Structure 1
Amino acid sequence: MANGGVDRSVECTGSTEAMISAFECVHDGVVVLVRVPHKDAVFNTHPFNFLNERTLKGTFFGNYKPRFDIPSVVEKYMNKVKLKLEKFITHQVPFSEINKAFEYMLKGESIRCIIKMEE
């Protein structure tokens, strides 16, 4: 597709096929895999692909560091200026229906689900 390859590639779908394509289209640059693939997924590519000065990097949750980053996120949310989380909450369920929250997540029907500990 890129007639000789690209310098950088970022893959955000979590599809191993897309990850392999993103890796193999880089000529001698950097590939960043953002999304977590299925637990049984396998990344298959010819070993020669690692000898062409390609750099493969991964990031888990965008390299978010909870210990340092959560206080600033809480501050932004409390100020209601820069971070409005309510628009990302699609469902709320009581703890007794926690399995329903997992069903929403696995079916891709929710962005975020709040599980209420008390009803």
Structure 2
Amino acid sequence: MDKAGGKRRDISFRSEKNQKVVCVHSREAREYARILETDDTVECYDTCHLLEMERYQFVNPIDNRKDYFDVKWATDFVLYFVDGNIGIREIATEAMLAKKANIEKLEFSRRYWSFSEVVKDWKIIIMTKKGE
């Protein structure tokens, strides 16, 4: 999960599964998108999905920084499965998981999506950086 609209180097590519150009914010997310392109259980996917700030009021604030509730966030991937289910995937590396702030962001995402009536499948995908 990243701040929406933040300055970063975007990676754009043509997704055959989505039949359009999509954008991700990291090499790890691009690698995961490559995996999704060949996953027969995934019909299509959305990247950098903007969270609705109006729904932040339902997110439990315990152990999360108060300023997180004033920021526009984007989930890394929303997956639309062939069977009609919807899943959320947040991309992380082991190094990211060593920082409390990143854990808090992931927990914010989990809590946000836990109030969705249609999303029942939320996961963190741990990707390795090239050369590790």
- TM-score tier, shorter chain, comes to under 0.3
Q: Quick check: which one's strand share is greater? A: 2
Greater fraction of residues in helix = 1
Computing the radius of gyration from Cα coordinates, the structure with the larger value is: 1
Using the size of structure 1 for normalisation, the TM-score is 0.27
Q: Name the TM-score, length of structure 2 as normaliser.
A: 0.25
Larger relative contact order (C-alpha < 8 A, sep ≥ 6)?
Answer: 2
